[in-house]
Amino acid sequence: MISAARATATATNSQPIPVEDRRLETVSRETVPLETMPRETMPRETMPSKPIRPRFIADEFFGHQPATSASLPDPLPLLDNLTRRVIEILAGARELEQIARWVTDDVYRHLLKRVVLSSRARQAKGVTPTRPAFTIGSTTVSEPRDGVVDAVVIVHGRARSRAVAFRLEGLDNRWRATAINVL
């Protein structure tokens, strides 16, 4: 293979015309062939011509894709069901894994901490977990932007009333809870 510094071009009269490149002059004087040089030490002009593509970001293609409100179902049934499930989970009557597909990883971890704390409190008092008796009160829903719903659901129990605050986001054409707070 002919190095770039010694490359020649042919003119119309078939006379070789030397191509001079001052940047490659130091490389052409070396006794080491360019093919055996490490890629890091090769001059930029002698590197194989290969298109350089931007780095592939997997989350753009395989991560959660946002959805519009028009493509999502009504959030009210999900809010009622999630409210019931979260109250039952905190009371120890239901397993947390049952709502894992409707919540994000951060919400799952947050609820897991709350479950551990409430189970320790029950053990300290010597109370067995029972299904709580409550009714769902009013639900207030607002849409701060397309594909996002903020809601508060009031829960009435025997001893007290609670508020459960939600933030639902449309991800992968379904609602997922990105924040749940039981007040």
pLDDT of residue 67: 87
Model confidence at 50, pLDDT cuts 50, 70, 90, reads: low
CATH of 69-182, one of 3.10.450.50, 3.40.50.2300, 3.40.50.300, 3.90.1150.10: 3.10.450.50
**Helix, strand, or coil here: 1?**
coil
Q: What is the DSSP string of 68-84?
A: -GGGS--SHHHHHHHHH
Question: Residue 176 CB: number of other CB atoms within 10 A?
Answer: 18
- Every domain of the chain and the residues it spans: 4-46, 69-182
Q: Write out pLDDT tens, residues 92-130.
A: 999 999 999 999 999 999 999 999 999 999 999 999 999
Average pLDDT, the chain: 80
Neighbours of 166 (CB within 10 A): 25
Structural tokens at position 155:
């829960």
pLDDT of res. 23 = 47
**Any bridge partners for residue 78, and if so which?**
none
pLDDT, tens digit, for every residue of 3-25?
444 444 444 455 555 555 444 44
What percentage of residues in the chain have a pLDDT greater than 70?
A: 66
Distance in angstroms (rounded) separating the CA atoms of residues 138 and 154: 6
The pTM of the full predicted model, rounded to 2 decimals, is 0.65
Which pLDDT band, with edges at 50, 70 and 90, does 40 fall under? Answer: low
